[in-house]
């Protein structure tokens, strides 16, 4: 009986524990959520005070939203291929994800150029400032995501990502899907709160 209880306690400890790297990533993502929650709350409070310039978001932000959703699909494809130990397809999927991430960043920059074209600047009316801060801070996090993807891609060329060792890829995918979801939240928020 004592042996059964000891095995049961051991199984409970195993199932309740989390990989420290996953735990650290989740803590980091929670802190990022808190930053963006505070910024979007400040946006709403400042908008209610008046003197708020209303403008349409650049069309390129719509296109970049589609691009980032496609990058989530290619990341998921990479996970599927890694589980099958299909290294060629894993590398292709990760490469596509990295290219789509870079395309998203390029489109975001072009969106800033379009904002300047319609006289929405970082300094000036707070409505424009908030758009630059929200998209810029997200872009900064996305740069770290692309770097993470490139690191995991390099690991795949060394055969260190495979069906028996998916931790790095899982962490990368979790972070990438988080960044994609964060952009969709920000985009919808900006659309609804102009």
Token pair for 19: 């990989």
Q: How many domains does the chain have?
A: 1
In this structure, what DSSP letter does residue 166 have?
A: -
In this structure, what DSSP letter does residue 122 have?
A: S
Per-residue pLDDT reduced to its tens digit, 22-48? 999 999 999 999 999 999 999 999 999
Asked if residue 50 has pLDDT above 90, the reply is: no
Is 80 a member of any domain? yes
Rg (CA), the chain: 21
CA pair distance 124, 126, nearest whole angstrom: 6
Query: Which residue range forms the structural domain that includes residue 102?
Result: 20-192
CA pair distance 21, 171, nearest whole angstrom: 8
Residue 125 near residue 51 (C-beta atoms within 8 A):
yes
Residue 84 near residue 163 (C-beta atoms within 8 A):
yes
Is 181 a member of any domain? yes
Is 11 a member of any domain? no
Residue with tokens 């379009």: 114
What pLDDT does residue 17 have? 81
Is 109 a member of any domain? yes
Is 105 a member of any domain? yes
What pLDDT does residue 124 have? 85
Residue 4 half-sphere exposure, CB side, CA atoms within 13 Å? 1
Per-residue pLDDT reduced to its tens digit, 140-189? 999 999 999 999 999 999 999 999 999 999 999 999 999 999 999 999 99
Give 194's pLDDT tier (boundaries 50, 70, 90).
confident
Distance of CA 27 to the CA centre of its chain: 14
Is 49 a member of any domain? yes
Question: Please, what is the Cα angle at 69 between 81 and 83, to 5 degrees?
Answer: 15
Asked if residue 72 has pLDDT above 80, the reply is: yes
What pLDDT does residue 13 have? 54
Is 121 a member of any domain? yes
**Can you give the pTM of this predicted structure?**
0.89
Q: What is the CATH number of the domain that holds 132?
A: 1.20.120.80
Token pair for 32: 């990022």
Question: Please, what is the Cα angle at 154 between 151 and 159, to 5 degrees?
Answer: 125
Mean pLDDT of 64-75: 98
CA pair distance 188, 171, nearest whole angstrom: 26
């Amino acid at each position: 009986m004592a042996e059964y209880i000891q095995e049961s306690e051991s199984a409970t400890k195993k199932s309740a524990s989390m990989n420290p790297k996953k735990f650290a990533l989740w803590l980091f993502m929670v802190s990022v959520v808190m930053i963006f929650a505070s910024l979007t709350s400040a946006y709403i409070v400042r908008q209610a005070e008046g003197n708020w310039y209303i403008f349409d978001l650049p069309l390129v932000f719509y296109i970049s939203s589609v691009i980032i959703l496609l990058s989530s699909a290619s990341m998921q494809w990479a996970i599927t291929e890694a589980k099958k130990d299909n290294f060629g397809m894993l590398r292709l999927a990760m490469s596509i994800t990295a290219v789509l991430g870079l395309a998203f960043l390029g489109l975001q920059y072009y969106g800033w150029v379009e904002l300047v074209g319609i006289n929405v600047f970082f300094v000036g009316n707070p409505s424009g400032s908030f758009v630059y801060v929200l998209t810029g801070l997200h872009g900064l996090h996305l740069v770290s995501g692309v770097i993470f993807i490139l690191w995991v891609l390099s690991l795949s060329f060394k055969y260190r990502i495979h069906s028996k060792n998916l931790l790095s890829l899982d962490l990368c995918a979790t972070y990438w899907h988080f960044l994609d979801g964060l952009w969709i939240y920000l985009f919808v928020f900006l659309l609804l709160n102009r």
